[in-house]
């Protein structure tokens, strides 16, 4: 390393050439690197999907899901299996072990499904397995117009064109439908003509044939033979002649035919107007800002060719990302200015320039590494950079200050630079390694927590390495050309003298001081830690509020749409007061409190997109417009001054009368939450007795409602539709009827069953049959079943019915049926852990009845964090201790330095009290990182005093370290100050981390200057 430093110092041209090259590489990498608000928080998953029309959740679970789950349990690498079963469909999500990639297991999963295939119903399509794509929202586009067919065609064309862009991996359309031919059979006419229902269906199936018929390879005349594609015009279906029971009839004599675009799934509206919306999603590699520009540029050209259709971008995820990135970059720039000014005042102008020059180069090396390592630039990564400003500058300060010291002692510029740099290599390298080893064990955290937080130790490690490269390869050449001996500097003599007096006093009373210290500080730390409240994440303002409402099952899609209009009117009438930018409604979709969505007719989900929030602090008002070169001091586009949670309460008040009027069965009103915990409280209830589950859920919800501050109480244990189970009675058996025969006779009439296909210019068209009176229960019971001898018999005469009602949806975890109660808490009243303490007696009472209750939500994540963070702390302390032993081959010195860590925690706790914040998950991460940062000054101090032989030498060398220790601490605190005192937007996520580091380091500085020398004096028997 010494040779490398010497080589770079002697080859200035090479040095500067490499720096210029790095600048270009850094700019290129920054432009190309993907940008996002938060990293995608998702575990490796494979999903298995299947469907069987007409089967309720319990039936699907019995004959399909359980069989598949049993077979999947033999697949190595699956950590957890979660199944969701609804009427007619199911999905099985496989969570994989961290060491397994989805593409490595997908074939094993497909093989397991193939094994089960033979036991599934013969007319059921084989379930599919696919890797869950990690997607993030990009754009939401709304299309409105008068011609429904034209609107549908244009939306599909637009979807096709946008899919051609690189990194677009999913587009969801709401409000669209496919062309369909519905044949509504009239039962009265069938009975009047004496038509055999099974024979009629067979005739309909034969009316359309879409596949190749023949290939004639006559010499010189090669011919293909196909059927006509004129089945959508000229009344083809009405005029089709069929023969049943020796009777020839037109299909129109027996049925009503409708060729249309049915709104069977969802109805979409934007600001009260019917629309089709395209929700566009990108993959992980996309640069959201550039991709959004490209798509919107194409959209402008697309509009020119479709002027009769209104096409509007109603939400652009690139805009808030760009604004948040600008905010953080402004904070970083301001942090650099503060750091530079502090060094200008505290040391000298020339040293401040040398140090400040190095910070951008450290960032440039970091960005280049980030880009080529495949990482994205997110709010978290930039906030981690903001946190590191003051930390990475420490290396440069210590090296520069040491070079200047040798210059002032009369060394030549070359010798001073070389000797000053080489002398600081061991302590700076050790200090850097301890910082890296404090953050690096965070990578041990698994699951969603690990995915969310992993970028922080990666950023820290990359920037620390970049800082080392800059401080020992590039900074020396800057110092050689810029520093001068005896430069006018701030007079530190009074500080040295004052500190020496304190040291004399401490060493003289070292036993009293240390005895008091080791008793008072731990007790104070314990008292504060046990009395402070804990919440997982801080509250964050959101630009979106989601309202989801569910009605009783009797409501059709059209009924739900009409009711939703009442909600839309109330919200749009108060658009200005609510700071509402766009109101997007999807009828036919319900989003639960847990974040899961289901497509049902009796529900709607509204997205209230709010105006941009106007931050009211001097950094946003004055500094950001300067650092981003926008000079928009008035923030003209930002008009909202209310926080999203305030607007959420106003919305609740506005819709309360409507919720009562329309007998709403379930409702969620939520804002966007951070990261990994969807609900504060989650109680998973399991039992083989479904009645006991329902009783337990009801009792638990009643007890939760009694706790002041617990809100949004809901569950997923809603009962589904009534189920009529039939059994062939004695009379039916005497007629030779079987369950299978009756089922085949009924399903083409009382289920919307595909019978054949037709062809349109857009592709295949489903041809479906159902009875005109399909949804009439009396019509079903009185249906005339055809017998083999040509007679008919009424259904109710040959079967006995048993009426049951089961859960609408079944959720399973590792093959066990789970029902869940969800709730949130109002943090100004209590935290989730406090709510759990209050509800525990009720939980214990419920468990005595025989049900199993598993705590999920924030509690589940807390338990995981507690277990894994304790291991990460032990790993961190061990690695730091090993590094200290390598540099200081002494257990006593290593112990002195590492003992600072537990005593520094009180500083982090005091910081949260001063700032009025609860302890949070990022706070704990900050305390772990503090372990490496707080001992850096201690390493510098001990490296100077470790070989002192006399007390005079001890005082002399110790006081020389107060300047670099104070300067590095001040610069670190200044770098963190904007995030500690003026967090904005998503910056609040890492504010607790910055508080732990900043206030912990502030107290740690006192420890390193006072406690550490006193302990050294005791252990090495130094006397005053």
For residue 622, the model assigns a pLDDT of 64
The tens digit of pLDDT for each residue in 590-607 reads 888 777 777 888 899 999
Q: How confident is the model at residue 651 (pLDDT cuts 50, 70, 90)?
A: very high
For residue 569, the model assigns a pLDDT of 92
Q: For residues 404 and 513, give the distance between their C-alpha atoms in angstroms, rounded to a whole number.
A: 35
**Residue 656 CB burial class (10 angstroms; 0-12, 13-18, ≥19):** exposed
For residue 658, the model assigns a pLDDT of 92
pLDDT at 791 over 90: no
For residue 909, the model assigns a pLDDT of 93
SS3 of residue 34 by DSSP:
coil
More confident residue, 884 or 265: 884
Least Cα distance to 389 among 347, 360, 425 occurs for 360
Of 639-653, 720-734, 906-920, 981-995, give the lowest mean pLDDT range. Answer: 981-995
The tens digit of pLDDT for each residue in 871-895 reads 888 898 898 888 888 877 788 888 8
**Residue 183 CB burial class (10 angstroms; 0-12, 13-18, ≥19):** buried
The tens digit of pLDDT for each residue in 56-106 reads 888 888 889 999 999 998 888 888 898 988 888 899 999 888 778 888 889
The tens digit of pLDDT for each residue in 975-998 reads 788 788 877 766 788 788 889 988
Q: How confident is the model at residue 566 (pLDDT cuts 50, 70, 90)?
A: very high
The tens digit of pLDDT for each residue in 26-43 reads 888 888 887 776 666 667
Average pLDDT on 731-754 reads: 83
Average pLDDT on 897-913 reads: 90
The tens digit of pLDDT for each residue in 432-443 reads 888 888 888 888
Q: For residues 393 and 335, give the distance between their C-alpha atoms in angstroms, rounded to a whole number.
A: 11
Query: With b meaning 16 or more CB within 10 Å and e meaning fewer, what string describes 799-838?
Result: beeeeeebbbbbbbbeeebbbbbbbbbebeebbbbbbbeb
* pLDDT, the chain, mean: 83
* Owner of token pair 């006995």: 800
More confident residue, 805 or 875: 875
Average pLDDT on 817-823 reads: 89
For residue 417, the model assigns a pLDDT of 85
Q: For residues 1012 and 1024, give the distance between their C-alpha atoms in angstroms, rounded to a whole number.
A: 16
Average pLDDT on 478-500 reads: 80
Q: Is the pTM of this model over 0.85?
A: no
For residue 655, the model assigns a pLDDT of 92
More confident residue, 248 or 906: 906
pLDDT at 633 over 70: no
For residue 38, the model assigns a pLDDT of 67
Inter-residue contact 320 to 944 (CB < 8 Å): no
Q: How confident is the model at residue 906 (pLDDT cuts 50, 70, 90)?
A: very high
Q: How confident is the model at residue 11 (pLDDT cuts 50, 70, 90)?
A: confident
Percent of all residues in the chain with a pLDDT value above 70, rounded to a whole number? 95
For residue 451, the model assigns a pLDDT of 77
pLDDT at 148 over 70: yes
The tens digit of pLDDT for each residue in 383-432 reads 777 777 777 777 788 888 888 888 888 888 888 888 888 888 887 888 88
Average pLDDT on 541-558 reads: 86
Percent of all residues in the chain with a pLDDT value above 90, rounded to a whole number? 8
Domains and CATH numbers, the chain: 1-32+347-490 (1.20.1640.10), 45-131 (3.30.70.1430), 136-178+264-319 (3.30.70.1320), 182-257+721-802 (3.30.2090.10), 492-531+888-1023 (1.20.1640.10), 544-720+811-857 (3.30.70.1320)
Least Cα distance to 673 among 640, 703, 648 occurs for 648
For residue 605, the model assigns a pLDDT of 92
pLDDT at 1024 over 60: no
Q: How confident is the model at residue 675 (pLDDT cuts 50, 70, 90)?
A: low
The tens digit of pLDDT for each residue in 305-334 reads 888 888 888 888 888 777 777 777 777 777
SS3 of residue 102 by DSSP:
helix
The tens digit of pLDDT for each residue in 359-390 reads 788 888 888 988 888 887 777 777 777 777 77
For residue 574, the model assigns a pLDDT of 93
For residue 40, the model assigns a pLDDT of 64
Q: For residues 497 and 419, give the distance between their C-alpha atoms in angstroms, rounded to a whole number.
A: 27
Least Cα distance to 133 among 248, 3, 42 occurs for 42
Average pLDDT on 944-968 reads: 78
Average pLDDT on 647-661 reads: 91
pLDDT at 850 over 90: no
**Residue 501 CB burial class (10 angstroms; 0-12, 13-18, ≥19):** exposed
Q: For residues 334 and 976, give the distance between their C-alpha atoms in angstroms, rounded to a whole number.
A: 11
Q: For residues 182 and 951, give the distance between their C-alpha atoms in angstroms, rounded to a whole number.
A: 99
């Amino acid at each position: 390393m010494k040779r490398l430093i010497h080589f770079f110092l002697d080859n200035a041209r090479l040095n500067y050439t490499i720096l210029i090259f790095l600048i270009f590489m850094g700019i290129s990498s920054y432009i190309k690197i993907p940008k996002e608000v938060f990293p995608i928080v998702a575990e490796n998953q494979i999903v298995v999907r299947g469907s069987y029309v007409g089967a309720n959740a319990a039936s699907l679970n019995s004959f399909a899901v359980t069989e598949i789950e049993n077979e999947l349990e033999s697949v190595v690498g699956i950590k957890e299996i979660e199944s969701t079963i609804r009427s007619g469909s199911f999905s099985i999500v496989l969570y994989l072990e961290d060491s397994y990639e989805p593409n490595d297991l997908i074939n094993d999963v497909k093989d397991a499904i193939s094994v089960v295939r033979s036991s599934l119903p013969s007319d059921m399509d084989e379930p599919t397995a696919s890797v869950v794509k990690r997607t993030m929202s990009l754009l939401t586009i709304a299309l409105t117009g008068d011609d429904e067919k034209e609107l549908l065609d244009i939306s599909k064309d637009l979807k096709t064109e946008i899919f051609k862009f690189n990194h677009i991996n999913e587009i969801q359309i709401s409000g669209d439908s496919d062309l369909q031919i519905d044949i509504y059979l009239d039962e009265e006419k069938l009975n009047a003509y004496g038509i055999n229902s099974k024979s009629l269906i067979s005739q309909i199936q034969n009316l359309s044939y879409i596949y190749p018929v023949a290939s004639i390879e006559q010499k010189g005349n090669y011919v293909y033979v196909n059927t006509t594609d004129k089945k959508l015009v000229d009344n083809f279906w009405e005029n089709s002649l069929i023969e049943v029971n020796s009777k020839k009839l037109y299909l129109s004599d027996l049925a009503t035919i409708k060729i249309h675009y049915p709104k069977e799934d969802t109805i979409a509206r934007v600001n009260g107007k019917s629309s089709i919306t395209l929700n566009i999603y990108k993959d992980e590699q996309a640069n959201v800002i550039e991709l959004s520009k490209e798509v919107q540029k194409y959209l402008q050209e697309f509009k020119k060719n479709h002027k009769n259709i209104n096409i509007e971008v109603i939400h652009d995820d690139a805009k808030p990302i760009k604004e948040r990135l600008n905010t953080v970059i402004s904070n970083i720039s301001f942090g650099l200015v503060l750091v530079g000014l502090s060094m200008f005042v505290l040391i000298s102008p020339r040293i401040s320039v040398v140090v400040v020059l190095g910070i951008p180069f450290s960032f440039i090396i970091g960005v280049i590494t980030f880009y080529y390592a495949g990482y994205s630039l997110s709010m978290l990564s930039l906030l981690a950079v903001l946190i590191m400003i003051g930390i990475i500058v420490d290396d440069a300060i210590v090296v520069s200050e040491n070079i200047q010291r040798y210059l002032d002692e009369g060394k030549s510029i070359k010798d001073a630079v070389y000797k000053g740099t080489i002398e600081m290599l061991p302590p700076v390298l050790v200090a850097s390694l301890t910082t890296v080893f404090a953050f690096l064990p965070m990578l041990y955290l698994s699951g969603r927590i690990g995915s969310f937080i992993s970028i922080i130790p990666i950023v820290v490690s990359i920037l620390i390495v970049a800082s080392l490269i800059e401080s020992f390869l590039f900074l020396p050449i800057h110092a050689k050309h810029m520093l001068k001996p005896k430069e006018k500097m701030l007079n530190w003599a009074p500080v040295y003298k004052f500190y020496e007096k304190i040291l004399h006093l401490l060493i003289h009373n070292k036993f009293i001081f240390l005895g008091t210290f080791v008793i008072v500080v731990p007790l104070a730390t314990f008292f504060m830690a046990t009395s402070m409240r804990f919440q997982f994440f801080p509250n964050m303002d959101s630009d979106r509020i989601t309202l989801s409402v569910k009605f009783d099952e009797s409501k059709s899609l059209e009924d739900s749409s009409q009711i939703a209009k009442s909600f839309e009117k109330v919200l749009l009438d108060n658009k200005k007061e609510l700071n509402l930018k766009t109101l997007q409604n999807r009828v036919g979709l319900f989003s639960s409190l847990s974040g899961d969505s289901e497509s049902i007719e009796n529900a709607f989900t509204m997205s209230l997109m709010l105006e941009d929030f106007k931050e009211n602090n001097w950094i946003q008002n004055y500094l950001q417009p300067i650092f981003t070169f926008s000079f928009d001091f008035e923030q003209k586009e930002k008009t909202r001054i209310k926080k999203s949670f305030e607007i959420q309460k106003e919305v609740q008040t506005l819709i309360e009368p409507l919720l009562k009027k329309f007998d709403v069965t379930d409702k969620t009103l939520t804002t966007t939450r951070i990261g990994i915990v969807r609900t504060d409280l989650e109680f998973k209830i399991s039992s083989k007795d479904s009645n006991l589950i329902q009783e337990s859920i009801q009792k638990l919800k009643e007890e939760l409602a009694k706790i002041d501050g617990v809100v949004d109480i809901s569950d997923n244990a809603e009962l589904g539709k009534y189920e009529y189970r039939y059994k062939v009675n004695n009379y039916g058996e005497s007629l030779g009827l079987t369950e299978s025969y009756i089922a085949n006779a009924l399903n083409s009439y009382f289920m919307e069953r595909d019978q054949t296909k037709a062809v349109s210019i857009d592709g295949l068209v489903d041809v479906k049959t159902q009875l005109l009176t399909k949804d009439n229960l009396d019509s079903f019971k009185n249906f005339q079943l055809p017998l083999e001898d040509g007679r008919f018999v009424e259904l109710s005469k040959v079967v006995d019915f048993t009426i049951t009602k089961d859960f609408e949806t079944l959720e399973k975890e590792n093959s066990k049926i789970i029902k869940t109660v969800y709730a949130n808490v109002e943090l100004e009243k209590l935290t989730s852990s406090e709510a759990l303490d209050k509800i525990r007696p009720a939980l214990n009472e419920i468990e005595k009845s025989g049900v199993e209750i598993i705590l999920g939500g924030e509690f589940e994540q807390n338990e995981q964090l507690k277990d894994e963070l304790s291991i990460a702390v032990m790993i961190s302390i061990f690695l730091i201790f090993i590094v200290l032993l390598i540099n200081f081959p002494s257990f006593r010195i290593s112990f002195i330095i590492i003992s600072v860590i537990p005593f520094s925690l009180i500083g982090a706790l005091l910081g949260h009290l001063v700032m009025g914040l609860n302890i949070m998950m990022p706070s704990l991460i900050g305390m772990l990182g503090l372990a490496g940062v707080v001992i850096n000054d201690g390493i510098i101090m001990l490296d100077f005093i470790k070989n002192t032989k006399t007390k005079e030498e001890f005082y002399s060398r110790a006081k020389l370290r107060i300047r670099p220790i104070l300067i590095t601490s001040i610069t670190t605190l200044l770098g963190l100050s904007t995030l500690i005192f003026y967090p904005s937007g998503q910056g609040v996520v890492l504010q607790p981390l910055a508080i732990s580091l900043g206030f912990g380091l502030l107290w740690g500085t006192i420890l390193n200057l006072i406690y550490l020398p006193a302990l050294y004096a005791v252990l090495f028997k130094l006397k005053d």
